[in-house]
Amino acid sequence: MGLSSSRHPRLVPRLNYVDPWDIPAMESWLVQMAAQGLYFVRCSKGLLWFRRDTPGAVRYRLDAISPLSPTPDLETFQQAREMGWLYVGKLGQFSLYRCDDPDAPELHTDPLTQSMTLELLEQSIRRNVSLCTPLFLLGIGMILAGFLGGRPPVLQLVESSAAFSMLGSLLLDLIVLAWLLLQCRRFCRLRRSLREGIPMEHRTGRFRGQVTRSRFLILFALLFAVLSAGISVRSISGRERWNITPEHPSPLSFHLTHIETDPAFTYRHLYLSDRDMENHVQAAWSLFAPAQYEIEEGGEVPGRNWPDNSGTYSPSFRLSYYRLTLPFLAEPLLRALIQEEYDDWYVYELEHEPGRYQFLRVDQPGLDETALVYDAVEDTWEMLFARRGAQVVVLRYYGLEDLSAALPALAQALA
């Protein structure tokens, strides 16, 4: 192998894509790098640095470092040199040797002796894994608790962009934990085979799969970070509120006037600063529901009072609208909204006043699923749940009209 004559040879940095505890894979990867003209020099700042030179056929061997001495002692260094092995430097928890002579004897000729040199390293690996595993499990548990311990998961997924980051973090944690356990298991199996007198197989193509996997994981982590940041920015910029006016109408062509058919009905406006508290829209955005609206409309019928004479009849509604990216989420989302808005919210009344609330499934042409909730005691309140395709609607109505009469208009608005 020819050596570069330059006093300052060019050094090339490379990421370490090979599992650090897989001795045969790391040695085989370094051999392949040398065949490409890249010879290991040092490990610094998380990078492996190589000297570019003439491609050659060399052998590399890793020898475990003693915790008491970060570099080989003089006797070990001389013995290796006499056998044709040159000390290159430190690589992780190993000393690295290189041999340019294909006929030179192996650095370790006795598997049992080599196994003894790996004993302290195995203990260190087991200790690190036993410490890291509970931490990873704790992190995974915290993510799952945040995702499963509160609102229904599909609601969090649809309404909050943070759910995407939570799922991505969970996936990365699971991958890293599986990789950590796999590497520990592989190293322990290697040492056990050495104790049984089986020589180490130094040539393996396993490193190729590890390089591909590591590159994929790094790319996945980078894309995930970029997507999470972009989704967060888009979610913040997608929050908007406006008063319903002729110039800025409601995004849905379904209005309170489809329910209140009295010609005397008029919209009323109650302003707090410049905000109309009676008629307004709040918009939001998420990856799985790019169109989300909370629409409130209210008005009154002059000359008509509530049945209890508490004042002028002033009906209103609050409508939640979702247009989903994935249509198959519509059905579970509607189930979750029924649970949150009806089953959970009115749990006391449902338990102590059976029969008060009537939950009715309704077949309405133009809608995939429809359900109405009536209050049998106070007929001033109704609720509607509906979905069509990738659209889901929840409507809370406060008034005296029959909400079912407005279902055709809602079906047309969602068409």
Q: For 119, what's the count of Cα atoms within 13 Å in the CB-facing half-sphere? A: 8
Residue 350's pLDDT is what?
Answer: 64
* Token representation of residue 385: 């749940």
Average pLDDT over residues 134-140: 83
H or E element, residue 40: strand 38-44
* Token representation of residue 296: 């409130």
Confidence band for 323, pLDDT divided at 50, 70 and 90: very high
Q: Running DSSP on this structure, what letter comes out for residue 105?
A: P
Listed range (135-149, 248-262, 298-312) with the worst mean pLDDT: 135-149
Helix axes 206-237, 162-195, angle to 10 degrees: 160
Count the neighbouring beta carbons within 10 Å of the beta carbon of residue 165.
Answer: 18
Cα pseudo-dihedral 258, 262, 266, 272, rounded to 10: -70
Q: Quick check: 326 and 312 in contact, CB under 8 A?
A: no
Average pLDDT over residues 153-176: 80
Three-class secondary structure of residue 250 per DSSP? coil
Phi, psi of 147, deg, nearest 5: -90, -35
Q: Which residues pair with 11 in a beta bridge?
A: 51
- Give Cα separations from 364 to 262, 335, 348, 408 (angstroms): 24, 18, 30, 7
Average pLDDT over residues 153-163: 80
Query: Does the pTM of the predicted model rise above 0.85?
Result: no
Residue 381's pLDDT is what?
Answer: 86
Q: What's the CATH fold of domain 240-414? A: Protein Transport Mog1p; Chain A (3.40.1000)
Confidence band for 4, pLDDT divided at 50, 70 and 90: very low
pLDDT in tens, 110-125: 889 888 888 888 888 8
Q: Over 90: is that where the pLDDT of 67 sits?
A: no
Average pLDDT, the chain: 86
How far apart CA 248 and CA 365 sit, in angstroms, is: 30
Distance of CA 270 to the CA centre of its chain: 42
